[in-house]
Amino acid sequence: MTRASLLVLSFSPIVADARVLKQVELFKDRYDVTTCGFGPAPAGVVDHVEVPAGLSATDVDGRLITARWYSRAYWSTSAVAWARRSLRGRRFDMVLANDVEAVPVAVGLAPTYGVHADLHEYAPAQHDENAAWKKRIAPYKAWICRRYVTRAASVTTVADGIAAEYRRVFGIEAGVVTNAAPFHDLEPGPVPTVDEGPLRLVHSGVAQRKRRLDLLVDAVHATPADVTLDLFLMPNDPAHLLELRERAAADPRGRVRFHEPVAYAQLVETLNRYDVGLAVFPFVNFNIRWSLPNKLFDYVQARLGVVVGPSPEMAGRVEQWGVGVVSPDFSVESLAEVLTSLDRDTVGGFKAAAHARARELSAEIEVAGWERAVDALVEGGAA
């Protein structure tokens, strides 16, 4: 029996994009999956259309944006123009388009059963902390949503607050598939006693100024508690990473330590050596306010306790799952008080709760949202 064909389209390096790789892994044994994106082919696909390095789906012509000629601006971006030419004439039963920049290309391919759009954030507020971006680019992103995303047969996104905004502004009904990590069959590591050493705090992620990692460093400096903080950071902003290193060096006790980033396949096992994962992100922009990041799920799979700020998506879940503590605000003082209050027996309880929840909070459960959406396209087409 001939299997339906599915194009997974993403203007990202697919083999390094954890969310897109989950889609490929989910569907490669069910459908004939072709991928289109940057970098080499992921394992298990029947074909791969590699977008050349150096192209971009966001290199819009500023003059066209100023004139609000959004259609010409979009179709002339280098990666979009290349993908449109390279995919022309190819037929697919379905397209799974990742992020709004991929959706117009997907719609233009007119797949037999339709398009599913997976939106990794709320696109019209992607950089709304930047006034110039908000004035010029946000309306362009909104145009893509209004003109093309509304034509997708189904939509998913990463968090409830983002889904609510797509519904409020554009009438788009989006399901939620979180950035859950794959299940890891691990045990919680023992929490060290006072005599054995400090509580081991950890944060993994990108070194970006807007993530305000300086708050974590300063809070560790401010707490009298016996804790250390290990940082596994991608050098997205080398100058900022150097600033963080210099800031950490101000503590004569040397409690903040920096490590080279760990490949995602080894990250959870690496985190398992620690006691508490930190995920505290002040509301710099809309998407950070409503973020439900990978690292929260990585910490659960690593069987860690968690400390988060009052971000609505994270705070509610941490309290519901019983895996950690919510800081009342994003000040250094409040975060330091939370670190000071961490009782070792309580941390052990958080780690046990993460262990109990690890299976239900895994990617293997979450991806059912994509499975239902894409299967519904096939069923609807067959009907």
Q: Output the DSSP codes for 118-173.
A: EESS-GGGTTTTSHHHHHHTHHHHHHHHHHTGGGSSEEEES-HHHHHHHHHHH---
Note the pLDDT tens digit of each residue in 320-364.
999 999 999 999 999 999 999 999 999 999 999 999 999 999 999
Q: Specify the pLDDT at position 333.
A: 96
Question: For residue 287, what are its two tokens?
Answer: 């998407």
16: confidence class by pLDDT, cuts 50, 70, 90: confident
Residue 381 has pLDDT above 80, yes or no: no
Residue 350 in contact with residue 323, Cβ under 8 Å?
yes
- Give the count of beta carbons closer than 10 Å to the beta carbon of residue 254: 9
Average pLDDT of the segment spanning 6-13: 97
Domains of the chain: 5-177+367-382 (3.40.50.2000), 199-357 (3.40.50.2000)
Residue 231 DSSP SS3: strand
Question: For residue 207, what are its two tokens?
Answer: 């070194």
Note the pLDDT tens digit of each residue in 39-61.
999 999 999 999 999 999 999 99
Count of alpha carbons within 13 angstroms of residue 37, beta-carbon side: 27
Q: Which spans in the chain are helix H? A: 18-27, 62-66, 70-75, 78-87, 103-108, 131-136, 138-147, 160-170, 214-222, 238-248, 264-271, 286-289, 294-301, 312-321, 332-341, 344-357, 363-366, 368-382
383: confidence class by pLDDT, cuts 50, 70, 90: very low
Note the pLDDT tens digit of each residue in 216-244.
999 999 999 999 999 999 888 899 889 98
How far is the C-alpha of 339 from the C-alpha of 316, rounded, in Å? 19
Q: Specify the pLDDT at position 251.
A: 83
